[in-house]
């Protein structure tokens, strides 16, 4: 089967190695694993969570805190179903589903090679054009001829609010955080009276009932988004679209993604979402191919106008200077947090040889590294070393966090463990420490050790972490 073959050979099984490291070292576990898992759901462990928080904080700092024109929001995941009628998600948030009539495996049609025109017409409610194409093979049974015709499958998770399961109680888990911002547009206007241009920003969970979740965190059913809805006058959208384009690239470099691994794709009119007049997908070279990492879209006044139409609320803007009243237009940078984490893991995963042995290490930028420093006593069974190491650990922890104390296994094993976690520095307390109050500081990338006075340790590490 072609797809499986591709996976096995992708950079020598890099994805499998990353998934295995993530589980082994407490970054990411399969969701509900002891019950056989749940497809498309992943649980973050201690170091994964720390990495995730570092990325979120860096994003929030750059796109919200450092600016004067952003308003944060944390809207509820459950929203009135009318939100999704207005936004077009009930009518059109669907993917083409095909089923193998032989083994009944289901797939997203475009992911396994059905031609895009086939379902683009279906999306628009037009009959699919009849033309000749070679049908793809079923990934499970290998059959190529036995496909039921594609149907459009709505990806929103439906639920009921309250004890009665009827039409009136239907709600959905939000498939994007964006609508939580559009429906709060008036609240933000009334509370803060911002002048255009200004933006709203939100980090939160989104849910999509993906037909076939795949590629680890890349396509999950529950994931997190970091989104901005930036409101501007229609005449100025291009200017702000461009400035976000630059800022996105700057931030991706800040968190350690190589600019050569990022590619901008101008999305064609046929492929754009119904609300967009221009979209750039920022793609990343994942081991399984070049795929969308995040999107930048010009959503026009589509959403605010749709909510005005459906709710009757006044979501217009009054310009005091020109005495004009109008509906603002909107630029949306939309980042998938889990895809970002996966991109960083792929970027930093490194194999090399040190001291004649193979090693794996994660070359995180210090700002995103889940652990900044590890402190070790050279030997576990020497109380004087352990005691001194604990004192140094407690002192250092007042200045630098998160840091860990590790006395488990021999020193070589401890270095390897920290390399796999991506800890930039390991501090070892040895017999010389007891004599002259110096420790060794080992650099993760080079393995080189330097002796540093304990009194200068925190400033030495702080400088090196910059």
Segment 258-262 long-range contacts (CB within 8 Å, at least 24 positions apart): 258/347, 261/285, 261/343, 261/347, 262/293
Contact positions vs ligand ATP (CB under 6 A): 208, 210, 219-220, 223, 225, 292-295, 334, 336, 338-339
Q: Report in angstroms how near the CB of residue 271 gets to ligand ATP at its nearest.
A: 9
CB 327 within 8 A of CB 316: yes
Cβ neighbourhood burial of 186 (10 Å; 0-12, 13-18, 19+): middle
CB 343 within 8 A of CB 215: no
Q: Report in angstroms how near the CB of residue 73 gets to ligand ATP at its nearest.
A: 17
Q: Report in angstroms how near the CB of residue 372 gets to ligand ATP at its nearest.
A: 27
Provide the 3-class DSSP secondary structure of residue 5: helix
Q: In the block, which residue shows the tokens 């086939």?
A: 118
Of 63 and 376, which CB lies nearer to ligand ATP in the complex structure? 63
Q: Report in angstroms how near the CB of residue 130 gets to ligand ATP at its nearest.
A: 26
Query: Across the beta sheet with 94-99, what order do the strands follow?
Result: 106-108, 94-99, 151-154
Q: Report in angstroms how near the CB of residue 282 gets to ligand ATP at its nearest.
A: 8
DSSP secondary structure of 180-226: HHHTTHHHHHHHH-PPSSEEEEEEEEEE---SS-BTTTTB-SEEEEE
Choose among 365, 441, 366, 429: nearest CA to 394. 429
The greatest distance separating any two alpha carbons of the chain, rounded to the nearest whole angstrom, comes to: 84
Strand 42-44 and strand 28-30: the pairing is antiparallel
Q: Report in angstroms how near the CB of residue 200 gets to ligand ATP at its nearest.
A: 16
Q: What's the CA angle centered on 157, arms 177 and 164, to 5 degrees? A: 115
Of 307 and 339, which CB lies nearer to ligand ATP in the complex structure? 339
Q: Report in angstroms how near the CB of residue 237 gets to ligand ATP at its nearest.
A: 18
Of 223 and 393, which CB lies nearer to ligand ATP in the complex structure? 223
Of 40 and 136, which CB lies nearer to ligand ATP in the complex structure? 40
**What is d(CA 185, CA 25) in angstroms, rounded to the nearest whole number?**
42
CB-CB neighbours of 462 under 10 Å: 13
Q: Report in angstroms how near the CB of residue 108 gets to ligand ATP at its nearest.
A: 9
Sign of CA dihedral 342, 345, 347, 352: negative
Of 293 and 427, which CB lies nearer to ligand ATP in the complex structure? 293
Q: Report in angstroms how near the CB of residue 332 gets to ligand ATP at its nearest.
A: 9
**What is d(CA 316, CA 306) in angstroms, rounded to the nearest whole number?**
12
Of 93 and 376, which CB lies nearer to ligand ATP in the complex structure? 93
Of 227 and 420, which CB lies nearer to ligand ATP in the complex structure? 227
Of 218 and 376, which CB lies nearer to ligand ATP in the complex structure? 218
Q: At what angle do helices 237-254 and 46-60 cross, to 10 degrees?
A: 140
Residue nearest to ligand ATP (CB): 336
Q: Which residues contact 348 (CB under 8 A, 6 or more apart)?
A: 256, 362, 363, 364, 422
Of 55 and 220, which CB lies nearer to ligand ATP in the complex structure? 220
**What is d(CA 239, CA 242) in angstroms, rounded to the nearest whole number?**
5
Q: Report in angstroms how near the CB of residue 122 gets to ligand ATP at its nearest.
A: 17
Bridge partners (DSSP) listed for residue 278: 298
Choose among 334, 227, 223: nearest CA to 281. 334
Q: Which residues contact 296 (CB under 8 A, 6 or more apart)?
A: 241, 244, 245, 248, 279, 280, 282, 331, 332, 333, 334
- Can you read off the two tokens belonging to residue 68? 């004067």
Q: In the block, which residue shows the tokens 């463990």?
A: 417
Q: Report in angstroms how near the CB of residue 234 gets to ligand ATP at its nearest.
A: 22
Q: Report in angstroms how near the CB of residue 219 gets to ligand ATP at its nearest.
A: 4
Of 254 and 407, which CB lies nearer to ligand ATP in the complex structure? 254
């Amino acid at each position: 089967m072609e797809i499986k073959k591709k996976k096995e050979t992708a950079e020598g099984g890099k994805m499998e190695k990353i998934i295995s490291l993530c589980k082994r070292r407490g970054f990411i576990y399969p969701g509900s694993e002891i019950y056989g898992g749940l497809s498309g759901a992943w649980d973050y462990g201690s170091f994964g969570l720390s990495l995730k928080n570092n990325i979120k904080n860096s994003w929030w700092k750059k796109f919200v805190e450092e600016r004067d024109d952003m308003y944060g929001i944390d809207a509820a995941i459950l929203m009135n179903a009318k939100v999704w009628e207005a936004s077009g998600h009930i009518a059109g948030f669907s993917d083409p589903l095909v089923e193998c009539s032989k083994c009944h495996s289901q797939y997203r049609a475009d992911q396994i090679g059905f031609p895009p025109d086939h379902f683009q017409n279906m999306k628009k409610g037009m009959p699919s054009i009849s033309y000749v194409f070679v049908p793809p093979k079923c990934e499970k049974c290998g059959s190529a001829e036995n496909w039921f015709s594609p149907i459009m499958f709505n990806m929103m998770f439906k639920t009921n609010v309250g004890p009665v399961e009827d039409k009136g109680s239907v709600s959905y888990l939000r498939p994007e955080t964006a609508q939580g911002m559009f429906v709060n547009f008036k609240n933000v206007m009334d509370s803060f009276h911002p002048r255009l241009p200004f933006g709203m920003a939100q980090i939160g969970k989104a849910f999509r009932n993906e037909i076939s979740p795949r590629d680890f965190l890349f396509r999950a059913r529950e994931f997190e988004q970091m989104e901005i809805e930036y409101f501007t006058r229609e005449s100025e959208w291009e200017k702000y679209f461009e400035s976000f384009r630059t800022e996105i690239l700057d931030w991706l470099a800040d968190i350690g993604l190589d600019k050569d691994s990022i590619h901008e794709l101008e999305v064609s009119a046929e492929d754009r979402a119904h609300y967009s007049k221009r979209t750039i997908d920022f793609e990343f070279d994942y081991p399984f191919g070049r795929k969308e990492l995040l999107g930048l879209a010009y959503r026009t006044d589509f959403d605010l106008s749709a909510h005005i139409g459906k709710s009757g609320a006044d979501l217009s803007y009054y310009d005091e200077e020109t005495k004009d009243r109008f509906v603002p237009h909107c630029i949306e940078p939309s980042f998938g947090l889990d895809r970002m984490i996966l991109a960083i893991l792929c970027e930093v995963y490194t194999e090399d040889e040190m001291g004649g042995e193979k090693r794996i290490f994660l070359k995180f930028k210090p700002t995103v590294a889940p652990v900044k420093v590890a402190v070790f006593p050279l030997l576990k069974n020497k109380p004087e070393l352990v005691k001194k190491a604990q004192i140094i650990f407690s002192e250092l922890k007042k200045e630098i966090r998160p840091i860990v104390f590790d006395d488990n296994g021999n020193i070589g094993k401890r270095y390897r463990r920290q390399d796999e976690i991506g800890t930039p520095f390991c501090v070892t307390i040895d017999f010389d420490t007891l004599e002259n109050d110096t420790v060794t500081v080992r650099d993760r990338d080079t393995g080189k050790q330097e002796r540093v006075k304990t009194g200068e340790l925190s400033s030495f590490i702080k400088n090196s972490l910059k």
